[in-house]
Amino acid sequence: MKKSPILRKTVEGKQRQAKQRSKRSSETAGETAEQQDRPSAPIASFAVDINSYELRDTWILDSGANSHVCNDRRRFKFVRMAAEGEELIAGKSVYPIEAFGSVLVTIQSPNGPARIELLDVALVPGFFTNTASLHRFTAKGVHWDTQKQRLHQDGKTFCYIQRVGDHWALEHIALPTERGAISSYASSRDPRKNIEATAERWHALLGHPGNDALAHLQENVIEAVVTSPTSKRTPCEPCALSRAQRVISRRSEVSEAAETPLARVAYDLISLDMAYNENKWISHFRCYFTGMDFVYSHTKKSQTVEVIEKFLNTVKTR
């Protein structure tokens, strides 16, 4: 039986199409394998370079920030919680603000290291660095001189700043090296040494327990060794005072009772951290007769005499 020419052409065409599909499939598989071997491209990026993490504990001077930002709770002094919706926007990233407060920063003044207090600082844990707002400095009359690498006020040098990578640092604190960090957590196969101390030392370390508790310390605590007899331990002063039934005052002076309001007044001068209005001192007067308190805050200790005179004028004109 002879084969039909039309049928033969049809079969040959189907075979060519099958070969072409097989070739395209192998090429696609090769491209897919190549893409899997190739490192993936980043889908997100930050507006900082790779060295920015090294500035985690550093305070950089930021000309584009309108607020001071701190990322370390340990250095942060709390003043108030942030309101709902208060956020820090850095590029395309948004960070929630946890609180507002103050931070002490060490600067390099013309006379050596000095500390200044930054007020109204936003606490943003997880932010890549700490920023000091140049806008806040210029509002106080402190300006930036990049040529002389300094901040100046009224033509006088306020402090010097240093270049760290591509940033200007108000305070630079370098992170510990990776080698040092690993060595600090290095494990040891050697058995741990016993902790040895006298009975007096253990008594102070453990919160002033009695002799009976110290006598059973070695039996119940692994590696704890008491090197002196607990029965011969001399009672410490805090324990003696706490067990005393009567405490006799040895003061020789006798306070005179006040017969009229403001006839006798006590005075205290109290030093505090700088407040929002830059006041650091409190003059406190207390009337012995009425128990009324009079409180005056002021910025300088030298204003104490002026405050006392003001209080005396108040007493005379009451």
pLDDT in tens, the chain (318 residues): 444 555 565 556 666 766 666 666 555 545 444 444 444 333 222 344 434 468 888 999 998 888 999 999 889 999 999 998 899 888 788 889 999 999 999 999 999 999 999 999 999 988 889 999 999 999 999 999 989 999 999 989 999 999 988 899 999 988 776 544 444 444 556 677 788 888 888 888 888 888 888 888 888 887 888 888 877 777 788 888 787 777 666 665 656 778 888 888 999 999 988 888 889 999 999 998 888 999 999 999 999 999 999 999 988 887
Q: Are residues 139 and 208 in the same domain?
A: no
Enumerate the β-bridge partners of residue 297.
282
Question: Residue 187 and residue 185: Cα distance in Å, rounded?
Answer: 6
Structure tokens at 67: 């607020």
Q: In this predicted structure, what is the pLDDT of residue 89? A: 86
Q: What is the pLDDT of residue 104?
A: 94
pLDDT at 274: 85
Which CATH number characterizes residue 138's domain? 2.40.70
Is 47 within 8 Å of 128 (Cβ atoms)? no
Question: Given the structure tokens 């942060």, which residue do they identify?
Answer: 76
- Return the pLDDT at 54: 81
Residue 184 inside a domain? The answer is no
Q: What pLDDT, on a 0 to 100 scale, did the predictor assign at position 144?
A: 92
Per-residue pLDDT at 255: 66
| Nearest CA-CA partner of 103 in 149, 136, 151 | 136
Q: How far apart are the first and last CA of the chain?
A: 137
Residue 296 and residue 237 share a domain: no
Q: Of 115, 137, 171, which marks where a domain is finished? A: 171
pLDDT at 308: 93
- pLDDT of 103 reads 94
Residue 310 lies in a domain: yes
Residue 31 main-chain phi, psi, to 5 deg: -65, -40
Number of domains the chain contains: 3
Q: Which of 171, 187, 220 is the last residue of a domain?
A: 171
Residue at 257 is within a domain: no
- Domain span holding position 276: 265-316
Domain boundary among 210, 243, 276: 243
Residue 127 lies in a domain: yes
Q: Do 143 and 231 share a domain, yes or no?
A: no
The answer to whether residue 270 is domain-embedded is: yes
Q: Which amino acid would we find at residue 10? A: T
212 and 309 in a single domain? The answer is: no
